[in-house]
Amino acid sequence: MESDRALFAKVFLPHLQQAYRLARWITGNAVDAEDIVQEASLRAFRSIRDCSGANPRGWVLTIVRNTANTWLTRNRADRVPVERIDADGSVIYREEDSDPDTPETILLRKAAVEEVRRAVDALPPAFREVIVLREIEDLDYREIAQIAGIPLGTVMSRLSRARSMLFKALGDTQ
Amino acid sequence: MTSPEQMYEIDAYADGELDAMRAIEVERLMAEKPELRQRYDSILNLRTALREAAAQDRASDLLQPRIERAVGRVGPSVTRWAALAASFLFGILIAGTLTWVLFVPRGPALGDMIVSAHMRGLLAEQPFDIASSDRHTVKPWLARKVPQSPDVVDLTQSGFPLFGGRVDVIDGNPVATLVYGHAQHLVSLMTFAKPVKLPTESTIAGFHIRSWLEGDLTYVAVSDIPERELAGFENDIRRPTR
């Protein structure tokens, strides 16, 4: 039987950069992202036997996502006004708070990197994580649903809404 | 006017989530409605912009060795814990009585979460979010972060200088934690607004835990200092408010 540490090296370490990117974009904090990944690695190590092996990347990213959300509760409670974080770390968001947006006349201009970061950072966390998981981590809807712990339909609606918000923040309406 | 359902279809098409039949349907729809086509183009532009922005994000090369070290440090205590659990199990077999079952640890309990939070403090670059030996700095900082803020007592005289404070998240709730030093060790003192289910003294994975009630608040001290010294810490911290 493989030792816990060998299993950890096989399951967690290959996804380190992806884990870092996820933490970095969910929190908007490049410095603390490394601490979050480290904390997530310890959580992962302690429950390494729970990893079924079917989808180690999804398992790792779920732990990182939950750790990053805990960080948000601690450090950015002031910035999550319309939602709260559940006991298990999942974000509860009331969908009716988001008014449907019309996508007309949206022309994305070439936004500077910093502008893109700021726009993503300004999204409510529940929307931020789906766009980050989709576009930056390149995961499909099913994986996003698993990691964020939400139904597929919610993935679609949040993703669509997150995009509309980003178009508005970054786009030229002229 | 575009319905949200049509928008979802465009998004799903751009995300490669549609089967061939529906994809053809969406392409036909986009040819008819320029605003849908525009959304599709915008999605692709946004994707490029996001991926370009993220391309430069890399964890430092030091992160992996740091994690390997941290995991290495956790290793022994986990093994000790497993050995302890094994000896409990052995005890059950030997004693053959049901009373033993009462002592068997159950699942990831509050005590484990408290020890984890303390360990996280030990493994971080700094065990506190605010570094200050001045209780008049630490208390207002904590009061801004958490609903229940503890009395901050200076125990330098007793050999427990105040190092700072941090906010832990225990069972989903933010908790004010004071960090004291003692020789080369740290003591975390957490404050709970609700009564917590903890024995007054316990030991988990080599860390001793003491908890007591003070007014409406439950205080929990956790550290790897000897049990007797942690009892002394509790004594000292309770004295001024008596």
Amino acid at B36: L
Instruction: Outline where DSSP puts E strands in chain A.
Output: 83-85, 91-93, 107-108, 171-172
Chains A and B form CB pairs within 8 A to the count of 144
Please indicate whether, in this complex, the C-beta atoms of B12 and A141 are within 8 angstroms of each other: yes
Summarize the confidence of residues A65-71 as an average pLDDT.
Answer: 92
Q: How far is A169 from chain B (nearest CA, A)?
A: 11
| Residue B191 structure tokens | 């404050």
Tell whether B50 lies on the interface with A, counting CB pairs under 8 A: yes
Q: What is the pTM of this model?
A: 0.55
pLDDT at A76: 67
Please indicate whether, in this complex, the C-beta atoms of A170 and B49 are within 8 angstroms of each other: yes
Nearest CA in chain A to B35: A104
Q: Using CB atoms, which residue from A42, A110, A171 is nearest to B123?
A: A42
Of B221, B95, B39, B240, the C-alpha closest to B154 is B240
Q: How far is A61 from chain B (nearest CA, A)?
A: 15
Amino acid at B220: V
- Residue A39's pLDDT band (cuts 50, 70, 90): very high
pLDDT at B89: 55
pLDDT at B33: 92
Tell whether B60 lies on the interface with A, counting CB pairs under 8 A: yes
pLDDT at B241: 54
The DSSP bridge pattern shows strands A107-108 and A171-172 to be antiparallel
Cβ atoms of B114 and B170 within 8 Å: the answer is yes
Q: Using CB atoms, which residue from A25, A39, A171 is nearest to B120?
A: A39
Q: Would you give the distance in Å from CA A168 to the centre of its chain?
A: 21
Q: How far is A20 from chain B (nearest CA, A)?
A: 6
The sign of the CA dihedral B15, B16, B18, B20 is positive
Mean pLDDT in consecutive groups of 10 residues from the start of chain B, 242 residues: 83 93 92 93 92 89 90 60 54 45 48 83 74 79 79 84 85 85 86 81 86 85 90 84 50
pLDDT in tens, A83-133: 444 444 444 444 434 433 343 333 444 447 888 999 999 999 999 999 999
pLDDT at B156: 84
Whether residue A170 is predicted with pLDDT greater than 80 in this model: the reply is yes
More confidently predicted of A1 and B186: B186
Please indicate whether, in this complex, the C-beta atoms of A38 and B123 are within 8 angstroms of each other: yes
**Residue from A84, A136, A158 to probe the interface with B (highest B Cβ count within 10 Å):** A136
What is the C-alpha to C-alpha distance for residues B145 and B234, in angstroms, rounded to an integer? 24
